Chain A
Amino acid sequence: MKLKLSKTTRINFLTYAVVIVAFVVFQSLSSAGALSSTLKGQLVPICAYVVMALSLNLTVGVLGELSLGHAGFVSVGAFAGAVASAALTTVIPIPALRLAVSMVIGAIFAAIAGVLIGIPVLRLRGDYLAIVTLAFGEIIKSLITNFYIGIDGEGLHFSFLSNKLSLGEGGRMILNGPMGIPGITRISTFAAGFILTMIALIVIFNLVNSRSGRAIMALRDNRIAAESVGINVTKYKMMAFVTSAALAGAAGCLFSLGQNTILPSKFDFNTSILILVFVVLGGQGRMLGSIIAAAALTILPEVLREFADYRMLVYAIVLILVMLITNNPTISGFFARLFRRQKGDET
């Protein structure tokens, strides 16, 4: 019996399979106690980075616009989600449910930010668009740095620029301006990270393979041609951009609820660049690549601890070498020939 599957469907199923296998393997290793504390502690952040990379790949790879401010959306999701989780502690005592609700809230806030930012940004092109996303990322960071949220019996209290809150009996500060959220109850789990990764993949693949997805890719490949056949540029660009922002927000929430503390300054330009590196290294538009690159590059600095002082130097060299090698025509040509020969043998 021969299943007739298109190439994209096969790749999509391969991606799902890799994620599921990776989850099962690491989950069982983890419960068997075979993982080092370092790797165990990184499982949730890896999932968060994977989803961040996937969401950025939607903007960079599928929509074809360079974004240098993706950390801004992650930040909105991270803080909205963490505040929601802290506020809902008594309302929803079950951690898993609270995590899910927080993620949805994080995603909604990030999506709102995506709409607000997308309207002006998507009118620009190329490097100008990139710099405006960078600017928005910095603005979000700067605003959250000046935001104070406290909670007491009456509910949430907000303050901007300076902490003027007077909280009632039993109240406490949740978001403390530049000090971020110092006491987060960790409720993110590896399983939740896995589920979020799967959801992100399902959303992205369904979007890409839909009529809308084809319209988005048509815009990427040739905007003028796409426009001339009646594709609504703003609508489809916004669709991709906002979906990307929402997924980034959910990833941010997963990340923040897996940490003890998060600071607004964590989600700066360097973090945006880091996520972009995952996407470019894994390949634009290739989701499996993003997943592997995000996981590998998150683990890499920890593995390089043996190099001590030379750790980040080695990391930089590895990054440059990987970029040089993957883009070297001789080497990729060699592998291309190799693969072709193998395929020839099979038939």
Chain B
Amino acid sequence: MLTFLNHLISGISLGSVYAIIALGYTMVYGIAKMLNFAHGDVIMVGAYVCFFMVSSFGLHPIIGILLAMVVCTLLGIVIERLAYKPLRQAPSLAVLITAIGMSYFLQNAAQLLWTSNYKMFPAFFTFGGKNGVSFFDGRLNLSWTTIVTILACLVIMVVLTLFTDKTKLGKAMRACSEDKGAAQLMGINVNTTISVTFAIGSALAAVAGVLLCSAYPTLMPTTGSMPGIKAFTAAVFGGIGSIPGALLGGILLGIIEIFAKAYISTQVSDAIVFAVLIIVLLVKPTGLLGKQIREKV
């Protein structure tokens, strides 16, 4: 039973990291309708910025995170401006390939800037010298990083939902997501709205980067790519475009991955995770919380 709980906690820890990355993915997808494959690499940049702010300049972690958010937001805006905006009218696959090109670019630029040697990300979330709380004489452990990550996911989810539901800009975003043409006719500046979406998505990426590296502290230029793909999977799993779906999808994916390793086989765990994903999508073709779009003839 204790082992089961331990695995469950590990699953939630891993899942919460996927979830926080997936939130950024789903946000951008929901509004701009594009798969931003460079998202994972923006995460990596955010983690590097925070790392250098904290370990090289000795700044407080909170300031490090804030600076990482600023840098990533600017980066997001620049990327959007240079690479995605000119393709607003182009077919979606063209944008997808550009995003992949951007992903290669960021990875290789990071390698040139910061070398391929990996860095150990410092443990931020320690309270009273402990990195977690333990129960049953240390047989059950829950790290602060996990708690912070889950809290961050919930806060971000609530804020994002409120933002898109209540504010003017948020409503404009939803309008763009529904129908760009109609939104334009209603006086919404579609271009600016999408740019703002990217800025928010990139700021979220910075937070995700810091939390990813706090949980799994090896930081290198390719750090963001695999979690990026997994998080993308999680976003689809939960229903891409749905903010609560990203959270749910992320957590579930983490739990499935850990359980597959623990109870079936570590050797084929990757295959099992993806098999579960396929089965879920066959039963619910738009993900767990995805909207069913009715087709009009």
CB distance from B112 to the nearest CB of A (A): 6
B233 contact from A135, A142, A316, A317, Cβ within 8 A: A135
Are B104 and A280 touching (Cβ within 8 A)? no
User: How many A residues face the partner with a CB closer than 8 A?
Assistant: 45
CB distance from A177 to the nearest CB of B (A): 9
Main secondary structure of the interface of A (DSSP, over half): helix
List residues of chain A with CB within 8 A of the CB of B277.
131-132, 135
Residue A143 lies at the interface, judged by CB distance under 8 Å to chain B: yes
CA A139 to CA B278, docked complex, whole Å: 11
Are A131 and B236 touching (Cβ within 8 A)? yes
List residues of chain B with CB within 8 A of the CB of A284.
91, 93
Are A316 and B101 touching (Cβ within 8 A)? yes
Residue A218 lies at the interface, judged by CB distance under 8 Å to chain B: no
Main secondary structure of the interface of B (DSSP, over half): helix
Are B87 and A327 touching (Cβ within 8 A)? yes
Stretch of B53-61, B63-71, B178-186, B264-272 on the interface side? B264-272
Q: List 17 A-B contacts (CB under 8 A).
A: A60-B93, A66-B93, A125-B285, A127-B35, A128-B287, A132-B277, A132-B278, A146-B268, A273-B100, A276-B97, A277-B97, A280-B97, A312-B108, A320-B98, A323-B87, A323-B97, A324-B98
Are B90 and A309 touching (Cβ within 8 A)? no
Q: Mark B134-162, 1 if CB is under 8 A from A, else 0.
A: 00000000000000000000000000000
Residue A134 lies at the interface, judged by CB distance under 8 Å to chain B: yes
List residues of chain B with CB within 8 A of the CB of A143.
268, 271
Are A224 and B281 touching (Cβ within 8 A)? no
Interface residues in A258-307 (C-beta closer than 8 Å to B): 269, 273, 276-277, 280-281, 284
Residue A11 lies at the interface, judged by CB distance under 8 Å to chain B: no
CA A310 to CA B281, docked complex, whole Å: 41
Are A316 and B105 touching (Cβ within 8 A)? yes
CA A324 to CA B81, docked complex, whole Å: 12
| Interface size class of chain B, counting residues whose CB lies under 8 Å from the partner chain | 35 or more
CA A66 to CA B29, docked complex, whole Å: 16
Are A131 and B108 touching (Cβ within 8 A)? no
Q: Most A CB atoms within 10 A — which of B90, B102, B281?
A: B281
Are B270 and A323 touching (Cβ within 8 A)? no
Residue A153 lies at the interface, judged by CB distance under 8 Å to chain B: no
List residues of chain B with CB within 8 A of the CB of A39.
none
Residue A123 lies at the interface, judged by CB distance under 8 Å to chain B: yes
Q: Mark B255-293, 1 if CB is under 8 A from A, else 0.
A: 000000000010110110011011001100111000000
CA A203 to CA B277, docked complex, whole Å: 34
Interface residues in A206-228 (C-beta closer than 8 Å to B): 224-225
List residues of chain A with CB within 8 A of the CB of B101.
316-317, 319-320, 323
List residues of chain A with CB within 8 A of the CB of B268.
142-143, 146, 161
List residues of chain A with CB within 8 A of the CB of B275.
135, 139
Residue A182 lies at the interface, judged by CB distance under 8 Å to chain B: no
B86 contact from A125, A128, A281, A328, Cβ within 8 A: A328
Residue A315 lies at the interface, judged by CB distance under 8 Å to chain B: yes
List residues of chain B with CB within 8 A of the CB of A135.
233, 274-275, 277-278
Q: Which 10 A-B pairs have the closest CB atoms?
A: A135-B274, A319-B101, A316-B105, A316-B104, A142-B271, A327-B90, A320-B101, A313-B108, A131-B236, A139-B271
